[in-house]
Chain A
Amino acid sequence: MHIPDGFLNTGVSVVTGVAAAGAVGYGLYKAREELDEKSVPMLALCAAFVFAAQMLNFPIAGGTSGHFLGGALAAVLLGPWLGGLVIALVLLVQCLGFADGGLTALGANIFNMALIGTILAYYFFYGLKSMLPKSRAYFLAAAGVTAWLSVFLASGACAIELAVSGTSPLGVALPAMLGVHALIGMVEAAITVLVIGVVLAVRPDLVGTYDYRPLLADYGEAEVSR
C-alpha cells in the first residue's frame, strides 16, 4: 500500500501532503505538551517496533504474503495523535531509507495509513468501546474490529487517490484493493487482538486506552496471585 512517486497527480499530492503535515505537526505538538522528555525515546522505540514488526511476513491466500501494518495497534497503545505520529515516522524512514513509498507520495501514504488507518481508526475505536459493555473481552473485540476497518479504509483511500489521479479506473482499483485488504485486515485484526491481549496480561499500564478498573474476573488466577 506504499504508493511510489509518479502514481499521483499534483492536486492529490498537495492536498494529502498538507493534511499529513498538519497531522504530524499536531502530533509533535501533543508529544511536547502531553509527555515529558521521556516521550522522545519511547516514541522512537514504538516507531522502531512497528518498523520491525512490519518485516514479519505472513502467508495469505494464493501464494501472496502480507505484513502487519500496526495502525490500529499504535492507536490503541498510544492514542490517536501519538499513534499517528509513530506510523508517520515509520513511513518517513521507509521512504528515505528503502525508497518504499515515494517522496512526493509521502503525504498520501501518511494520509492513508496514519490519518485514516490510525487517527480516524482511534475515534472509531473510542466510539465502539463506549457503546460496548466494559470488559476485557469487549475491549479486545473492539480493537479487532478497528484493526480490520483500519486496513480496509486505508486501502480504499489509496484506491480513490489513484483513481482521482487518473492512474487506475475506480471501478477496477477499488474492488480489487478492498477485496485483498479485507483478507489482510482479518489477519491484522487477529494479530492486533493477540498482541493487545498479551500486553494487557503482562503490562496493562502500557495500553494507554484501557481505562477500566481491572476486575478480578478479567484475569486468570495466575495473574491475580502475581
Chain B
Amino acid sequence: MKHVFLDEYSDLSSPVHQLDPRAKLVGLVAFIIICVSTPPDRYAAFAAYLGLELVLVLISRLPWRHVLKRLLVVLPFILVVAAFLPFFGKGGGSYNLGPLTVSAHGLLVLWNVAAKSTVSVLAVILLSSTTPFPELLKGMEKLKVPVLLTTILSFMYRYVFVLMDELQRMRRARDSRGWSGKWFWQGKVIGHMIAALFLRSYERGERVYAAMLARGYEGNARAIYLYDFGIMEAGFVSMLALFPLAARLIS
C-alpha cells in the first residue's frame, strides 16, 4: 500500500491532533458557516479568518507543501466559473485596465468566491489532516449521525485503499502496454478497466463479508472512543466560533 491520500498527516502528534474529533467537527463547521455568510466587503474579517487558520496550521505542524497542494483543489472551479466575471459583470462602476474594462461588481463577486472558498477549503484541510478518518467517523457517530451511515463510511474507507491498489496495478499494466491516453478510442480501455474494477471489487466484497461473518460479525463493529470533550475542546470550539464572529462585527 503506497498511498496515504485521504487523511495524510493525520497521524502526527500536536495539540490540534489530540483534540476530540467532535470539537474539530463542530468548531470548523461553525467557522465555515460564519465565513460563508460574511458580506464580501469585510476585507479585514477575511484576513482574520485566514490568520486564525494559519496559526492552527502552525500549531498542528502540518507541512506547508501539503497544505498548499490541497488548496489547489479549488482553483479549477474558480477559474472555470468565476475568473471571467470581472469582464462580463455589470454595475458598480468600472475600471479601465489597458484595453480591458473591469467591472467593480464582477470583481467583488470574484473576490467573494475566491476568498470564501479558500478559507473554507483550508478549514476542511485542517480537519482532515489532523483527524484520522475512522476517528472522525466515531466523532460523527457520537454527534448522532445515523450509525448505518457511519458504518457504511468506515467500510468504504477500508475498501478504498484496497481498490486503489487494484487500480494502480491495472494502470501500471495498461501503461506498460503502450496506452498513451491521447486518443479518443483509447477510452474503451478505461471502460474495460472500470468494469474489471467493479467485478473484482464486488467479488472481493463477497469474500470479505463471508470472512467477517465467520469471525462473528453481527452488524456493527465495536470500538473504543478514546477522546473526552474537556476544557481544551471547549476552548477550541469557542475560539473557532467567537473569534471570527468578533472579527466580523468589528471590521
Interface residues of A, Cβ cutoff 8 Å to B: 2-7, 10, 13, 24-25, 28, 31-32, 37-38, 40-49, 51-53, 55-59, 68, 89, 92-93, 95-100, 102-104, 162, 166-169, 172-173, 176, 187, 190-191, 193-195, 197-199, 202-203, 206
Contacts and interface: CB of A to CB of B under 8 A. Distances in A.
Interface stretch (B50-58, B123-131, B227-235, B242-250): B123-131
A103 B152 CA distance: 20
Contacts of A49: 159, 163, 197-198, 201-202
B117 interface: yes
B2 interface: no
B94 interface: no
Contacts of B216: none
Interface string B176-214: 000001101001101111111111011011001100100
Contact of A172 (B84, B109, B191, B208): B84
B97 interface: no
B116 interface: yes
Contact of A96 (B89, B127, B187): B127
28 contacts: A6-B113, A10-B37, A13-B36, A28-B149, A42-B205, A45-B202, A48-B156, A48-B159, A49-B202, A51-B160, A52-B166, A56-B167, A59-B182, A68-B194, A89-B149, A93-B153, A93-B156, A97-B128, A99-B73, A100-B73, A102-B32, A102-B121, A102-B124, A104-B33, A172-B88, A198-B192, A198-B196, A203-B199
Nearest to B121: A99
B85 interface: yes
A45 B194 CA distance: 14
A190 B151 contact: no
A40 B112 contact: no
B155 A203 contact: no
Interface in B80-94: 80-82, 84-85, 88-89
A106 to B, nearest CB: 11
A14 to B, nearest CB: 11
Contacts of A191: 187, 190-191, 194
A5 B190 CA distance: 31
Given A2-B77, A45-B205, A56-B193, A187 B187 contact: yes
A195 B194 contact: yes
A95 B156 contact: no
B115 interface: yes
Contacts of A167: 81-82, 85, 109, 113
A195 B198 contact: yes
Which interface residue of A5, A93, A195, A199 has the most chain B CB atoms within 10 A? Answer: A5
